[in-house]
Amino acid sequence: MSEDQSILICDDEADLAGELGEFFSACGWRTIVHLGAPDALEALHAGAAPTCLLTDLRVGHFSGAELVAATRRLPAHLQPRVYCLMTGHVLDTSEAKDFGVDLLYVKPIDPDMVLNDIQKFLDGA
């Protein structure tokens, strides 16, 4: 685990966002938690530049997909290296690329698996 790895978590479910933050912090990640997409986007604009963006698909009126799309329009140095999307909906045929992300998860997620996937993605990249 690298000390400079960071993750920006965006979920309007405060308990879940808190648990996720706690998990990644315990794993040595610097965590930034936001409960709404506008706040998260503002932080990204301000130069948060996390290693990973983990967002829920539905986070209020501004969806996670919109947050991902907006983030992708940021300058390259402000963009995360890996984009992760979570959703509570049952997905049958949808894939990560359908939402413009690198990793797609259906709640409830296995945090260890998510961590491994991110790590693998980063290592692969």
Partner 1 sequence: MIFLSHNLRAGWRAWPTALCAVTFSLFVATALLYISERKEQALLSESVTTSGWVAYQAQLEYVKTDDALKRAALRPDAEALADVGLRLEILRSRLPLLYGSEDGRMLPEIDALTPVLQRFEIVLDGMIDAMPALESGSAPKEPILKAWSSALAPLGRELQSVLMASVAYNNNLFERERSLSEQPTLVPLALLFLSGSTLIILMLTRARRDREHLRAVEAARRAVTEMERNLRGVVQAAPSAMLVVDPAERAVRFINPAAAEMVHPSLDHPDWTRLIDTSLEEVQIGDDGGMILRIAFAKSGGDVVSLRGSLCPVMWEGRPQMLMVLIDNSRTRDADLQLIQAAKLATLGEMATAIAHELNQPLAVIRMAVANAHRHLDAADAREAVAAKLDRVTTQVNRAKRIIDQVRRYGRQPSGKAATFALRPTLELAAGFVAEQYRACGIRLALQLDVPADLAILGDRDLLEHVIVNLLINARDAFEQRAMARPRTVWLRARLHDQKVLVEVEDMAGGISEEVMAHLFEPFSTTKPAGAGAGLGLSLARSVVRDMNGHIVAENMRNGACITLLLPVARTPATREAA
Q: Which residues bind partner 1 (CB under 8 A)?
A: 13, 15-16, 19-20, 22-23, 26, 58, 60-61, 86-90, 106-112
Residue 63 C-beta: closest distance to partner 1, Å: 8
Instruction: For the CB of residue 53, give the shortest distance to partner 1 in the complex, in Å.
Output: 18
- 53 beta partners: 8, 83
State whether residue 56 is helix, strand or coil: strand
Would you say 47 or 60 has its CB closer to partner 1?
60
CA torsion sign for 112, 114, 116, 119 is negative
Cβ-based neighbours of 124, under 8 Å, separated by 6 or more: none
Return the amino acid letter for 26. Answer: A
Q: Specify the residue, 47 or 112, whose C-beta has the smaller distance to partner 1.
A: 112
Q: Report, in Å, the least distance between residue 111 CB and partner 1.
A: 5
Q: How far apart are the C-alpha atoms of 92 and 4, rounded to whole Å? A: 36
Nearer to partner 1, 22 or 98 (CB): 22
